[in-house]
Amino acid sequence: MSFEQPTWVEVYGEPRRIFYARAMDSGIASSFGAGHPAHAILLAIGALHQRTSKGSEPENPSTTFTLDNSAGQAAAILERPPLGSRVLIKGRRYTVAGYADATLFEGVLTGIEVDMQTAVISVQA
């Protein structure tokens, strides 16, 4: 199975928030459903650090994702940071039956760093 764009992030705070890239096709964005705020401000997802195999140095599974804050939109959405909330980084995978949604990484939101241009969100498994 190969993972392909689009990729999005779901943060299960109150309310549940979905972040996706502006370039993401509208058919996917509309599939998030009513009542789940979806924001087209996802700029990047960092490397997905997974557990390493036995016999090697253990790595704490973690990643980051970056949101656009150039107009203050990320700061407004994250005014009450959902620290400890469940986070899913999701993508589309292609199988013989067609495309399906898949979870690429699951963890909890552990930190937020906001500046004038971006908000960088830390996630640990």
pLDDT digits (tens, 9 = 90+) for 60-119: 899 999 999 999 999 999 988 899 999 999 987 777 888 788 898 999 999 999 999 999
* 104 exposure class (CB count in 10 Å sphere: 0-12, 13-18, 19+): middle
Q: Is the torsion defined by CA of 53, 96, 105, 66 positive or negative? A: positive
As given in the structure block, the two tokens for residue 116 are: 């004038």
Q: What is the distance, to the nearest Å, from the Cα of residue 120 to the centroid of all Cα atoms in its chain? A: 11
- Give residue-wise pLDDT tens across range 12-63: 988 889 998 877 655 666 667 667 788 989 999 988 876 666 656 556 899 9
Rounded to two decimals, the pTM is 0.83
Query: What are the residue boundaries of the structural domains of the chain, listed by start?
Result: 2-124
